[in-house]
């Protein structure tokens, strides 16, 4: 193993799991020919997870998705009952 590879391993070892996941995604983007379908699914999952975290910043603190769903169903389908 080269000195540069050893240095990279030491740096990666000090990263958090979230940062390692991000680093893996960056590396895969730099090496697109080596990605498998499973890798692409994981990349999509990471993008979705990052988007979810960003969207959460814009929601009110008291946001309740279950309550929102029930209210929307009642508004749309209440006339059926």
pLDDT of residue 1: 84
* Containing structural domain, residue 48: 3-80
Instruction: Summarize the confidence of residues 35-62 as an average pLDDT.
Output: 85
Average pLDDT over residues 50-57: 86
3 vs 80 pLDDT, higher one? 3
Mean pLDDT of 64-71: 94
Q: Do 12 and 23 contact (CB within 8 A), yes or no?
A: yes
Cα separation, 17 vs 19, in Å, equals: 5
Which candidate, 9, 12, 21, 11, places its Cα nearest to that of 53?
A: 21
The pLDDT score that the predictor gives to residue 35 is: 58
Supply the DSSP string of 17-45, one letter for each residue: HHHHHHHHHHHHHHSGGG--HHHHHHHHH
Q: How many domains does the chain have?
A: 1
Phi, psi angles (nearest 5°) of residue 77: -110, 5
Q: Rounded to two decimals, what is the model's pTM?
A: 0.36
Say if residue 6's pLDDT is above 70: yes
């Amino acid at each position: 193993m080269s000195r540069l590879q050893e240095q990279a391993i030491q740096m990666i070892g000090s990263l958090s799991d979230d940062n390692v996941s991000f680093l893996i995604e960056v590396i895969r983007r730099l090496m697109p020919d080596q990605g498998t379908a499973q890798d692409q699914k994981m990349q999509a999952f990471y993008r979705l997870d990052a988007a979810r975290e960003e969207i959460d910043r814009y929601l009110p603190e008291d946001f309740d998705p279950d309550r929102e769903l029930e209210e929307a169903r009642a508004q749309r389908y209440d006339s059926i009952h």
